[in-house]
Structure 1
């Protein structure tokens, strides 16, 4: 696992998960400019660095000096690195000391009126954030022990457990899953219920709609970009069935 040192802005590698220092983890929607793994190697901070710096600053307020951010801690050019990271991601979010959810499209305050976007380019309200419609953020919402939500200006909006009722209405995720952080709470819900939480969520790569669900069922499988959504989803269904022999999993359509 690679972590970004917030004081040196250098990546450090930890071979054993038990040796990792306390770390914060970022959940966010990718924007046009992001700091990549290659950017950090080249010490190029010309684009997207403000998000990284503000994330580090927020973590340091909790006494945490290591950060995991998918855009720069994963070598996207390495298929093996990407596959290993995707299969480990649920556990990484689970084990984080702090999970920061950055909602770049939310204006300051939980009760900011919703607006029509993207045509206006204006900021919207909490309920309207794109963060709630993305595939990967489903596990990033559920896996951590707690989630701290920040708006575009890095002002704290609230924490998941206290916003559980509101988030449940937005996402259709059962409120107890959002209030508690025991894995037993998640496992008490059926395969169908957990799959239903992903309905309507979108990913940039079609296969990620399947890969982003692995952690919710505690299954692992190789990632094969280019196989297409149907093939990826069918492989996921087989892995889920092996863990939870419930034929209803095959009733779900990948689309």
Structure 2
């Protein structure tokens, strides 16, 4: 697994075949018109004019601020010119999101001018209209990580909040703690 280092200058890869260190991962939709930074651009130091570079650099800053050393972005951490690497990545994607220390969802098409000017109801509409919620790949990116913008007051709510998604009906037994997942 090729990871980018958050503390080194620019974008630098480190390859790990075993003993993969803790890393952060991003869930996002790709910019159209070849605006993402592919693996080869990172190796060659190219792509300064592409919108995707700013997204990656902002994520690098976030990871560094969380004291993380490594991060992974699908647009540039997979060599898509290698059919073997692309196949491995697609087959490993769910696991990579699941094993990440944290996952950040980047909604490039959501623009909130300043926190005081948007009512709660309005912000809900803005977020729900994001392309991120309609893309196929982002579903596994939402479900796999241990952490994606999801918090609950009680441990059981982590399980109970998924019941409707899976069409499950069961009695709620607050106090059962982690057993709610069984």
User: TM-score under structure 2 normalisation?
Assistant: 0.74
Residue in 1 that maps onto 2:136: 135
Change over 3 Å in CA distance of 1:67–1:107 after alignment to 2: same
Within the alignment, does 1:160 sit opposite 2:162 as a pair? no
From 8, 12, 17, give the equivalent of 1:15: 17
Within the alignment, does 1:113 sit opposite 2:122 as a pair? yes
Say what the alpha-carbon RMSD is for the aligned residues: 3.0
Q: How does 1:64-103 map to 2 (within 5 A)?
A: 64-103=68-107
Structure having greater relative contact order (Cα 8 Å, sep ≥ 6): 2
Counterparts of 2:89 and 2:16, CA distance in 1: 13
* Contact 1:105/1:130, CA 8 A, preserved across alignment: yes
Change over 3 Å in CA distance of 1:126–1:20 after alignment to 2: same
* Contact 1:56/1:65, CA 8 A, preserved across alignment: no
Residue in 2 that maps onto 1:146: 147
Structure 1: which 4+ aligned runs deviate by more than 4 Å? none
Change over 3 Å in CA distance of 1:112–1:56 after alignment to 2: farther
Residue 85 of structure 1 aligns to a residue whose secondary structure is helix
Change over 3 Å in CA distance of 1:86–1:174 after alignment to 2: same
Change over 3 Å in CA distance of 1:112–1:37 after alignment to 2: farther
Residue 132 of structure 1 aligns to a residue whose secondary structure is helix
Residue in 1 that maps onto 2:6: 6
Q: How does 1:1-255 map to 2 (within 5 A)?
A: 1-8=1-8, 9-16=11-18, 19-32=19-32, 33-46=35-48, 47=50, 48-108=52-112, 111=120, 113=122, 125-147=126-148, 159-162=149-152, 173-174=165-166, 185=181
Residue 61 of structure 2 aligns to a residue whose secondary structure is helix
Residue 144 of structure 1 aligns to a residue whose secondary structure is coil
Residue 122 of structure 2 aligns to a residue whose secondary structure is coil
Count matched residues: 155
Write out per-residue CA displacement over residues 215-243 of structure 1, whole angstroms, 9 at most, x where no aligned residue. Answer: xxxxxxxxxxxxxxxxxxxxxxxxxxxxx
Residue in 2 that maps onto 1:227: none
Counterparts of 2:121 and 2:107, CA distance in 1: 13
> How far off its partner does 1:61 sit?
1.8
Q: Which runs of 5+ in 2 are unaligned?
A: 169-177
User: TM-score under structure 1 normalisation?
Assistant: 0.54
Change over 3 Å in CA distance of 1:23–1:175 after alignment to 2: farther
Q: Which runs of 5+ in 1 are unaligned?
A: 115-123, 148-158, 177-181, 189-255
